[in-house]
Copies of this chain bind each other. A is one copy, B any other.
């Protein structure tokens, strides 16, 4: 299905965006309050352009949004994308949990079955 490809791509973007400590730091900062891009750039040991690229990756993953204010571009964290990532991980955990449930079920079955074999 085409929709599946979209979900896959979105998850790829989401986790990829999270797989960098600078970007995780930007998320935290922009969760606290809005920051302009150059505001953020002053904070990290890299060029303005590099930070700009990190913000673009976060934006594509919808982890942050940008809003223009005069000549500044204000970046704000979007908690919904983090929730999305949490849900994806919880779905994985669910597969694991259901396996444990099945094992419990097998162990709870009448032991005679096993002994008689």
Chain B proximity of A50: nearest CB distance (Å): 17
In the complex, which residues 1-15 of chain A have their Cβ closer than 8 Å to any Cβ of chain B?
Answer: 8, 11-12, 14-15
Q: Does A60 contact B (CB under 8 A)?
A: no
Some 27 contacts from A to B, beta carbons below 8 A apart, are A11-B19, A11-B24, A12-B19, A12-B21, A14-B19, A15-B15, A15-B16, A15-B19, A16-B16, A16-B19, A18-B19, A18-B89, A19-B19, A24-B88, A27-B92, A31-B92, A31-B95, A31-B96, A31-B99, A33-B99, A79-B93, A79-B96, A82-B92, A83-B93, A85-B89, A86-B93, A89-B89
Q: Give the size of the chain A interface in residues (CB under 8 angstroms).
A: 30
